[in-house]
A and B are shown apart, each in its own frame.
Chain A
Amino acid sequence: MLDIGDFRSRTCSGVTRRSFLRLGSSLPMAWALPGSLQKARAAETPRAKSVLFVFLWGAPSQLDTFDPKPDAPIEYRGPFGVIPTRTPGVHFTELLPRMATRSDRFTLVRSNVAISSSSGHPKGGTVALTGFEEQPEPVQPNFGSIIAKHRGHTGYLPPFFSLASGKLTAGGEYIKGDGGGKLSTAHDPFMVGCSQQGEVDIPTLKVLQGLAPNRISDRKALLNLLDKQRAQLDSPALRKWQRTYRSAYDLLMNPKARGALDLTRESPATRARYGHSQFGQTALLARRLVEAEVPYIQLNYSRDVDAFNPGYEIGWDTHIYNFELLQDQLCPTFDRAFTALLDDLYDRGLIDQTLVVCKGEFGRTPKINSRAARDHWTNSYFSIWAGAGVQPGRVIGETDRLGQAPRSGPIVTPLRVGTTIAELAGVSTQARAEMRVLDGGTVVDELF
Chain B
Amino acid sequence: MSFFDRKRQYLVGSVILLLLGTWPCCAEEPVRLTTDGRLKATPVFTQGGTELVFAVLENPKLFRLMTMRLADRSVEPLRQAATTAEFEPACSRDGRYCAFVRQRGALSLSVAILDKQSDTLVEVLPPPGFAGLRSPTFSPDNSRVLYSFADENRQQIFSTNLQATDPQKLTDSVGINNWPNCSPDGKEIVFSSSRDGNFEIYLMQCDGSNAQRLTHNPLQDIRPRFSPDGKQIVFVGHRDGNSEIYVMDRDGTNLARVTHHPERDDYPDWHTDGKRLVVVSERGGRHDLYLVSVP
Q: DSSP class of B's interface residues: helix, strand, loop or mixed?
A: loop
Closest Cβ of chain A to B279, distance in Å, is: 14
- Cα–Cα, bound, A306→B286 (Å): 24
Option from B37, B132, B154, B282 in Cβ contact (under 8 Å) with A308? B132
> Complex Cα distance A49/B106, Å?
40
Q: In the complex, are the beta carbons of A371 and B130 less than 8 A apart?
A: yes
Q: Which residues of A contact B105 (CB under 8 A)?
A: 309-310
CB neighbours (8 Å) of A372 from chain B are 150-151, 153-155, 176
- Is A313 at the interface (CB under 8 A from chain B)? yes
Do A370 and B198 touch across chains, with their CB atoms under 8 A apart? Answer: no
Other-chain contact of B219, A81, A314, A324 (Cβ < 8 Å): A81
CB contacts under 8 Å to A, within B75-98, are: 83-85
Hey, which chain A residues are within 8 Å of B285, CB to CB?
Answer: 271-277, 280, 336
Chain B residues in contact with chain A, CB under 8 A?
37-39, 41, 57, 59-61, 83-85, 103, 105-109, 130-132, 134, 150-155, 174-176, 178, 194-195, 197-199, 217-220, 222, 238, 241-243, 264, 282, 284-287
Interface residues of A in 209-263 (CB under 8 A from B): none
Q: Can you name 11 A-B pairs with beta carbons within 8 Å? A: A81-B217, A81-B220, A97-B242, A274-B285, A277-B39, A308-B85, A310-B61, A310-B83, A319-B130, A321-B134, A332-B243
Q: Which of A268, A336, A370 has the most CB of B within 10 A?
A: A370
CB-based contact B61/A311 at 8 Å: yes
Rounded to whole angstroms, the CA-CA distance of A80 and B220 in the bound complex is 7
Nearest chain A CB to B129 CB, angstrom units? 9
Q: Does A29 contact B (CB under 8 A)?
A: no
Binding site for B on A (CB under 8 A): 70, 74-75, 77-83, 94, 97, 165, 171, 195-196, 268-269, 271-278, 280, 306-314, 317, 319-321, 323-324, 327-329, 332, 336, 368-373
When the two chains form the complex, which single residue of B154, B197, B238, B286 contacts A276, counting CB atoms closer than 8 Å? Answer: B286
Smallest distance from the beta carbon of B261 to chain A beta carbons, Å? 13
When A and B form their complex, what is the total count of cross-chain residue pairs whose Cβ atoms lie within 8 Å?
127
What residue in chain B is nearest A375 (Cβ atoms)?
B130
Establish whether residues B61 and A371, one from each chain, have CB atoms under 8 Å apart when the complex forms.
Answer: no
| B153 with A368: CB separation less than 8 A | yes
A371 near B151 with CB under 8 A, answer yes
Closest A residue to B243 by beta carbon equals A332
B287 — which chain A residues lie within 8 A by C-beta?
276
* Distance to closest chain A CB from B271 (angstroms): 23
Report the separation of the CA atoms of residues A373 and B155 in the bound assembly, to the nearest whole angstrom.
9
